[in-house]
Amino acid sequence: MSQYTLDLTGKVALVTGGSRGIGKAIALALAEKGAKVALTYSRSADAAEEVKTAIESLGTQAMIIQADAASFEGANETVSAIIAEWGGLDILVNNAGITKDGLILRMTEEHWDQVMETNLKSIFNYCKAVARPMMKGGGGSVINMGSIVGITGNAGQSNYAASKAGLIGFTKSYAKELASRNVRANVIAPGYILTDMTDALDEKVLEGITNATPLGRAGNVEEVAAACVFLASDLSSYITGEVIRVDGGMAI
Ligand code: NDP
């Protein structure tokens, strides 16, 4: 039998923005494979509490922490709290993200800054905070949530696309720096996935997106979580610095 498995029993994972949408699905999928899961949220305390209960009902442990992903101190405090409680950290999923869409002529400086801080600075915050503990612990897996838009660009999303393209360059550099210490880092680039984030889009835009997707439908959060579990596990032990599209073929 292969020594490489999806089993995450005994592993400790942190998912940022795990209270809703893709992050919630990832937190539950990692827990299903046996990991202890800590998740952060910014506002949805009740939803985060529900995810914690759901994780515990899968027979593993959960921790919820309110922490703005854009806060450098918040990232350090979160990682320290997890290590104090569970003794280490093996898997980091930088999932928290926002959109503040607008064509460039209308985009405000505030919307540029908010998106860059939440989507890109957060990646630096958490990747830096886990680097030393993961190296000390003999390795780890970091998964940064990009977007297909970071590869193709999208009118009305120059701030968002820049943040998601930026994290690809960051992840490849980080992967090169930490590979010798067995810390892997990869990006998942989802296409159109049904969540609160895409709920905000109008019907016409959604129809256009579906028509542009070779598989002919939106993706669901579990399909993104499946790729994340793969990247978190030993099944991907020889994969680092990679960008995996989960987009129904949209960017072929
Ligand atoms: P949702 O809006 O459904 O959920 C966002 C999650 O991130 C929530 O748990 C939210 O917490 C959390 N969050 C937002 N801002 C912060 C913050 N400052 N600090 C901590 N947590 C925060 O988004 P999705 O699930 O759709 O998206 C998740 C990720 O996937 C994002 O990075 C997004 O860019 C990416 N993505 C999504 C796609 C899609 O089609 N849905 C496509 C491509 C990429 P709270 O509940 O407390 O607000």
Asked if 63 and 52 count as a contact pair (C-beta separation under 8 A), the reply is yes
Q: Is the CB of 144 under 6 A from ligand 1?
A: no
Pocket test for ligand 1, best of 14, 16, 26, 41 (most atoms within 8 A of CB): 41
Query: Which class is domain 12-245?
Result: alpha beta
Give SS3 for 235.
Answer: helix
Distance CA 19, CA 47 (A): 5
What is the per-residue pLDDT for 198?
Answer: 85
Gap from CA of 98 to ligand 1 centroid (Å): 6
Q: Is the CB of 21 under 6 A from ligand 1?
A: yes
What is the per-residue pLDDT for 147?
Answer: 98
The DSSP bridge partners found for residue 38 are: 14, 63
Active-site residue list: 160
pLDDT averages per 10-residue partition of the chain, 252 residues: 93 98 98 98 98 98 98 98 98 98 98 98 99 98 98 97 99 99 99 89 86 95 98 98 98 96
Pairing between strand 12-15 and 91-94?
Answer: parallel
Record the pTM. 0.98
Domain ranges (residues) in the chain: 12-245
Q: Is the CB of 55 under 6 A from ligand 1?
A: no
